[in-house]
Chain A
Amino acid sequence: MKQTIKVRLWRWTIISIVAFYILVPLYAMFDFSTKPFGFADKGRTFRAWQMIGEQQNLFLAVTRSLITAAIVMALILFLVVPTAIWVHLKLPLLRRPFELLCLLPLAIPAIVIVVGIAPLYRWISINLSESPITLAGVYSMLILPYTYRSLSAALDVVDVHTLAEAATTLGATISRVIFGIIMPTIKTGIINGSFIAIALVLGEFTISNILNFKTFQVVIAQIGRSNGNVAVAVSLASLLFVVFLLLIIPTKKRQGAVLDVDLA
């Protein structure tokens, strides 16, 4: 019994420290966003929060960033995940080189990447589209280190070879094996990798700013230059929105849901 109380006390101490570490900055943001910033303001004010609705650029930027995130998600699901599975199943000798390739974006500074891709995006802007959604291309490369690691870890704990062989002997084609058997099996790894990717896409600033695309983070930075309180209110709101997304998405998944398509 004594042991239980001690363990419980230890557990709550750790939870309290972590909660303090996370919640204090959030409270500080909330505190700053409700401070008076105009001559007419007295005491606490929610004017900064009310002004979020007046930022037309912001909503356009949020929409663009969400569309970009959705495109990146689709690329993860239909390109990165099947490729990672294919490498694990059929090309085990390429696992290390592939992993190294996926880690490269982490090793190259963002500014170097921008310098490298700037001519490409100039061409894209002139010939294809000026939309910031085209950033999905470079983002899908930037998310590789995080997504691939997450997928690789999930694939390592499952005997994908036996599962694939079992499905094959039952008559499954390779696309059914990948989309119908392996992907639902490593669902947690895919969800984790996707969340990291979304967080990265919604939070990326350097590349979009230098390439002069008006994404969510760039617009927040612009608002911050004219009104710090509104910028902090927007940041806090976006943070709460992402937390809300993270909380609701896992409850939407259905146990045993099968993404069973045949692309062969």
Chain B
Amino acid sequence: MKSSAYVQLVDLVKYFGNVKALDGLSLDIAEGELVALLGPSGCGKTTALRALAGLQELDRGQMIVDGKDVTFQKASNRGMGMVFQAYSLFPHMTARENVEYGLKLRAHKTAGAKRKARSAELLELVGLSTHANHYPYQLSGGQQQRVALARAIAISPKVLLLDEPLSALDAKVRTQLREEIRRIQVELGTTTLFVTHDQEEALGIADRVGVMCNGQLEQIAAPAELYDRPKTAFVAEFVGLTNPIAGKVSGGSIEILGGVVKTLSGSISSGAGIALVRPESIDVVASKSGNATIFSASFLGATCRLSISMRDGSRVTAQLPSHDAVGLGTGVSVNVSLLDIAVFVKAAG
């Protein structure tokens, strides 16, 4: 991965009627990097991806790929490989013909034998070499998306664009394919922009994750940094779970649940605030005379999520290793883990 920007999106603006889908979006992607754009529906992430593909005209802004301005270049000439949310295989072509299609359009460059070898190689890469002569209707959803991935990378795209390619698949296939996409991306070193509304997907495979809201990029950072050190209340609340706990802020820390916790930059600096505390940052200790009561517990495998009712009537969610949760009675004492954590604090009310 090189450090210089291979893809540069500069101040992108797009209106749909009166709705501002992109509001000055700027983003740099390094060569070979996988960046995920994460955000709620309507935040503009798909519009940004489609603009880069050349499928969406912009009202303002500039897009530079590999040092070349592609803002006004036709989609068919941009050399972007794209995998769509909806199944997009050409139904009258076999898996092999689908993969070869992009190469066929570059017929003068890719001879028949070379084309066949390339499609065979790619179908093997996505684990579908035995399905080369199958038509899309003979393939499952996951297999169709794999072929679509092979088709997109067959043309050796400058940028691989993934528009929620896993959202139509069931959970197990989604996890498998997500890992395969990452493996293939790392293997080929293809610069990739991945759009999703599923934070687990984004945090699971991206080098960096950009969180979008109302057409703007709220924060872009490595997954761990984004999770541990959110810069805005939106990012803190959108990525992962948080407990809003009221407290008093002063001198770069907040007093909550009987402890003092450091605040993250971007938080309010003084007065009454709401700390956004991760469930795993909350300590739960068995205590009959404690300050809280467990009213439900969800077993999640390695961890257990506890819904706790505080004595003052407020509710918090804690997440702890399953073996620590065993043996906890209903009466508990709840504290904030003071081990090297910092929380984002937004203004109360």
Contacts and interface: CB of A to CB of B under 8 A. Distances in A.
Interface of A: 158-159, 162-163, 165-173, 176, 181, 184-185, 187, 255-258
B76 A168 contact: yes
24 contacts: A162-B84, A162-B87, A162-B88, A165-B84, A166-B88, A166-B90, A167-B101, A168-B54, A169-B55, A169-B81, A169-B82, A170-B81, A170-B102, A170-B105, A170-B155, A171-B102, A171-B155, A176-B105, A181-B90, A184-B92, A185-B90, A256-B93, A256-B94, A258-B92
Contacts of A256: 92-94, 97, 135
B53 interface: yes
A171 B101 CA distance: 9
Q: Give the size category of B's interface with A.
A: 20 to 34
Contacts of A159: 86-88
Name the residue among A166, A173, A176, A181 with the largest chain B CB count within 10 angstroms. A166
A70 to B, nearest CB: 24
A256 B54 CA distance: 29
Nearest to A187: B92
Given A169-B81, A170-B102, 18 more contacts: A163-B90, A165-B53, A165-B75, A165-B84, A169-B53, A169-B54, A169-B75, A169-B80, A169-B161, A171-B76, A171-B79, A171-B105, A171-B155, A173-B76, A184-B92, A256-B94, A256-B135, A258-B92
Name the residue among A166, A168, A169, A181 with the largest chain B CB count within 10 angstroms. A169
B106 interface: yes
B76 A172 contact: yes
B278 interface: no
A240 B308 CA distance: 80
A187 B152 CA distance: 25
Given A162-B84, A176-B105, A256-B97, A168 B75 contact: yes
Interface string B122-135: 00000000000001
Interface of B: 53-55, 75-82, 84, 86-88, 90-94, 97, 101-102, 105-106, 135, 148, 151-152, 155, 161
Contacts of A257: 92
Contacts of B155: 170-171
| 7 closest A-B pairs by CB | A170-B102, A166-B88, A171-B105, A184-B92, A169-B82, A162-B88, A168-B75
A162 B91 CA distance: 12
B84 A166 contact: yes
B88 A185 contact: no
A171 B55 contact: no
A181 B80 CA distance: 19
B102 to A, nearest CB: 4
Contacts of A162: 84, 86-88
Contacts of A165: 53, 55, 75, 82, 84, 88
Contacts of B77: 171
Name the residue among A170, A171, A181, A256 with the largest chain B CB count within 10 angstroms. A170
Contacts of A171: 76-77, 79, 102, 105-106, 155
Contacts of A181: 90
A189 B51 CA distance: 33
Given A170-B155, A171-B76, A176-B105, A185 B91 contact: yes
Nearest to A257: B92
A168 B92 contact: no
Contacts of A158: 91
A88 B94 CA distance: 25
Nearest to B92: A184
A247 B101 CA distance: 32
A158 B93 CA distance: 15
A185 B106 CA distance: 22
A258 B93 contact: yes
Contacts of A163: 88, 90
Contacts of B93: 256, 258
A185 B151 contact: no
Contacts of B91: 158, 185
